[in-house]
Amino acid sequence: METTFGTTVVMSTDLDDVCSATRASAPADATDTHLRRAKRPESPIAGPYGHPLHPSVVAVPIGAWVTALAFDVRSHVGDTGRQDARASRDAMVVGLVGSLAAAGLGFLDWLRLTPGTKAHAYGTTHMVLNLGIVGFYADAIRRRTNVATSDDDAARVSLGALGAHVVAMSVLGLSGILGGELAYRFGVRVADEATQRPAHTVGAKAS
């Protein structure tokens, strides 16, 4: 009887261990699935595995909008306020077009993120901030056009508009930090370590 009871206890203990292991491994398996999904492209348009296009395209609006800010500042330095406003507007247009392409590619990458995860929350915040910036520049283009077409030879970008532009660039920088977290900390659209390892192996042939 004691042997039977002892055997029953052992079997029960084994069963508890199996259940505990199953409960522990289930979230880990789900997490691994979410991570693998985030590394793969939603569509060939987003770029192949390990080569996402979004980070490359965002250089266009960033460069264009930095240039636009430089022209806004210059409009307060010399006597070419209208010309500077026109140059700023043209740079903003280039940035706006580039941002639409970047937003589309970024949206495809966002679709790979699992709702409820930290990566998804960061990605959503990153996207909302960028869309807000796009809206700002759409309005800023109109304002720069008004200055560029003014009959006033002394017309220039207002200090208020210049200040708003500085704030917008600061928000863009914050959004960029979130984008960096997504790629370099959370591994979104980054090749897994098995793919990376040969590149760090001494004597391995390049492929």
What's the Cα-to-Cα distance from 186 to each of 22, 76, 118, 178, rounded to whole Å? 26, 42, 9, 10
Q: Where are the domains of the chain?
A: 44-191
44-61: per-residue pLDDT in tens? 999 999 999 999 999 999
Residue 44: in which H helix or E strand, if any? none
Band of residue 207 on the pLDDT scale cut at 50, 70, 90? low
pTM: 0.81
- Which runs of consecutive H residues, i.e. helices, occur in the chain? 2-39, 54-57, 59-74, 81-110, 118-148, 159-180, 193-196
> What would the mean pLDDT of 89-104 be, rounded to a whole number?
97
Query: What is the reported pLDDT for 206?
Result: 59
Torsional sign, CA 94, 132, 169, 148: positive
